[in-house]
Amino acid sequence: MAKPDPEVTPPGHEPGPAPADALPDHWVARWLPPAWQPYARLSRLDRPIGTWLLLLPGWWAIALTRPPGTPLDYWLILLFGIGAVVMRGAGCTFNDIADRDFDGRVARTRLRPIPAGQVTLRQAWIWLAAQCLVGFVILIQMNGLAILLGVASLGLVAIYPFMKRITWWPQFFLGLAFNWGAVLGYAAVAGRLDWTTLALYAAGIAWTLGYDTIYALQDKEDDALIGVKSTARLFGDRARLWIAGFFDLTLAGLALVGWLAGLGWPFWTGLIGAGLHMAWQVITLKPDDSSDCLAKFRANRDTGLIIFAAFLLG
């Protein structure tokens, strides 16, 4: 880890205040030395929901593709867990490098480490490289197809931060990147790809369009002022209807996966549970309440875990 620059790190290596959407009293603030905390925040370790949302499609695929009658591959589950932490951290670091000027102009993001002056641009690039190296070590534990797919995902990670400047659909490109784990997990277990893989990937993309539109509702006023595009701004007062539609597509895609894979009744029971959880999000969502939007966004970890359990039992 690069040594913090004394010109940007306050005397005594104080980490500075945490962003508004960080979890209160998180272990990053309680346990890490002050000089390390900006790097942990750069990787969003104090906001673990993103790691869960990146990880869960991979776990879905691992549970779905395990051979009948065999136990879950816990080693692969662990590799995907570590990989999700470091690659989500790498993606967030790159996103903050690319968005450093925008972040300083948005209330929710102006306290991120780069615009807040807690980490220099050079230090951020070094931290990004270190995380990618760890991710590569994790990746080479898998088969050849999975390694190729893992390397290919870097292109999706690289283009996402720039999509909000050129398209109203940056959430779609986030979905392409965040659900690549479904493709990777399927290949890591089965050693191949098929139509079931495509259906699972498409369902995950629809899920991301739903939950990240909820997330983007927090920033729609600031985004309008600085010219950043999002589905939340595009849909306006119809956002709730669109979110419901995306969640419907998610359930339809997962149902297609279950049919193609010939899954049993526990899967369908779990899918009903996931649908009810999504319905609760849509019905109770308060689009103009940032705190509620953040809470509903975070609730998608539970949605994903319900789907994981459905695949595991089905």
Domain of residue 303, CATH code? 1.10.357.140
Paired tokens of 20: 């508004």
Is the pLDDT at 7 greater than 60, yes or no? no
Tens of pLDDT, residue by residue over 273-304, are 999 999 999 999 999 999 999 999 999 999 99
- The set of residues, in sequence order, having a beta carbon less than 8 Å from that of 198 and lying 6+ positions away, is none
87 in a structural domain: yes
19 in a structural domain: no
6 in a structural domain: no
Neighbours of 71 (CB within 10 A): 7
Tens of pLDDT, residue by residue over 89-145, are 999 999 889 888 777 777 667 788 888 889 999 999 999 999 999 999 999 999 999
95 in a structural domain: yes
* pLDDT (0 to 100) of residue 5: 39
Paired tokens of 109: 């993001």
Neighbours of 218 (CB within 10 A): 23
208 in a structural domain: yes
Alpha carbons 180 and 198: distance in angstroms, whole number: 10
Tens of pLDDT, residue by residue over 161-197, are 889 889 999 999 999 999 999 999 999 999 999 999 9
293 in a structural domain: yes
Mean pLDDT (the chain) is 89
Prediction pTM value:
0.88
10 in a structural domain: no
* pLDDT (0 to 100) of residue 27: 74
* pLDDT (0 to 100) of residue 135: 95
- The set of residues, in sequence order, having a beta carbon less than 8 Å from that of 267 and lying 6+ positions away, is 258, 310, 311, 313, 314
The domain of 138 spans: 27-313
* Contact call for residues 190 and 65 (beta carbons, < 8 A): yes
Tens of pLDDT, residue by residue over 8-53, are 333 334 455 555 555 666 777 778 888 888 898 989 998 899 999 9
67 in a structural domain: yes
Alpha carbons 94 and 78: distance in angstroms, whole number: 24
* pLDDT (0 to 100) of residue 9: 38
Position with higher pLDDT, 211 vs 221: 211
Which of 104, 234, 211, 113 shows the shortest CA–CA distance to 164? Answer: 234
Mean pLDDT, residues 218-227: 83
Tens of pLDDT, residue by residue over 192-208, are 999 999 999 999 999 99
- The set of residues, in sequence order, having a beta carbon less than 8 Å from that of 50 and lying 6+ positions away, is 44, 88, 92
**Domain count within the chain:** 1
